[in-house]
Amino acid sequence: MLYENYEQVVANVKKACERSGRNFQDITIIAVSKTKPLSDVEELLSHGVMEFGENKVQEMVDKYEHVSKPVHWHLIGHLQTNKVKYIVDKACLIHSVDSVHLAKEIEKEAAKKGVVAKVLLEVNIAQEETKFGIREDEVYALIDAIKDMPHVHVMGLMTIAPFVENPEENRVYFRKMHQLSLDIKSKCIDNIDMSVLSMGMTNDYEIAVEEGATMIRVGTAIFGARNYNI
């Protein structure tokens, strides 16, 4: 059942790739398993799905410790500095770096554990009050602060687009993100990769793919609606 949902997302991504002349191989689908039981993760894993996203540190660590085979865990939610130590060697990619303060903490904890943490910079491209992430015009200052950190490696950018009825409304933001990542890439800054562009969720992932996403984060379309009251 869950795998059928996943395959439907795959089919939709393939169609979006065809429409926009992109390669399906260039897109990573992250199954966002937040609030869902480990058995759901196991079900997808039994079909070979390897990329999972969590937005809470404790939940990611619990699933990391109990899953039957190692998978790739993406930390996609806001990260508090005091929790960095729990996930710095467990997350394959931290999608939500949005301050020098947080980057410094990741550097410190990654150095302690002898790892290089891969991260994305979270950009609040629509400048929504309620959202985490830096403004577009703050991105170079953050890059400047991180580029000399030996245990933090910037792989690209991430954004959470506004919640809209019509996903077409987010196309402009996805386009802006793509352009921003190209601008940064063109500067060839040491230690700064721009190969990853994480954008698009259940509502708007097809548009995000058309506009250049290399990672999409899909929860509801795969696992069904979340219940936060249990």
Which residues are near ligand PLP by CB under 6 A? 32, 34, 55, 76-77, 160, 201-203, 217-220
- Of 79, 25, 33, 70, the closest CA to residue 52 belongs to 33
Using the minimum distance from each CB to ligand PLP, give the nearer residue, 105 or 204.
204
Using the minimum distance from each CB to ligand PLP, give the nearer residue, 43 or 59.
59
Instruction: Name every residue whose Cβ is closer than 8 Å to that of residue 82 and which is 6 or more positions away in sequence.
Output: none
- Tally the C-alpha atoms within 13 A of residue 205's C-alpha that lie toward its C-beta: 26
- Of 165, 169, 164, the closest CA to residue 207 belongs to 169
- Residue in this structure with the two tokens 């005091």, named with its chain if needed: 82
Using the minimum distance from each CB to ligand PLP, give the nearer residue, 96 or 149.
96
User: Tokens standing for 202?
Assistant: 């259940």
Tell me how far, at minimum, the Cβ of 14 lies from ligand PLP, in Å.
18
Using the minimum distance from each CB to ligand PLP, give the nearer residue, 5 or 191.
5
DSSP one-letter string for 171-203 = HHHHHHHHHHHHHHHHT--TTEEEEEEE---TT
Using the minimum distance from each CB to ligand PLP, give the nearer residue, 76 or 84.
76
Are 46 and 27 spatial neighbours (Cβ–Cβ below 8 Å)?
no
Tell me how far, at minimum, the Cβ of 23 lies from ligand PLP, in Å.
23
User: Tokens standing for 139?
Assistant: 């991105």
Tell me how far, at minimum, the Cβ of 205 lies from ligand PLP, in Å.
8
Q: How far is CA 227 from the centre of its chain?
A: 22
Tell me how far, at minimum, the Cβ of 168 lies from ligand PLP, in Å.
16
Tell me how far, at minimum, the Cβ of 32 lies from ligand PLP, in Å.
4
Using the minimum distance from each CB to ligand PLP, give the nearer residue, 149 or 209.
209
Q: Which residue is nearest to ligand PLP (CB)?
A: 219
Tell me how far, at minimum, the Cβ of 92 lies from ligand PLP, in Å.
15
- Of 115, 90, 104, 194, the closest CA to residue 149 belongs to 104
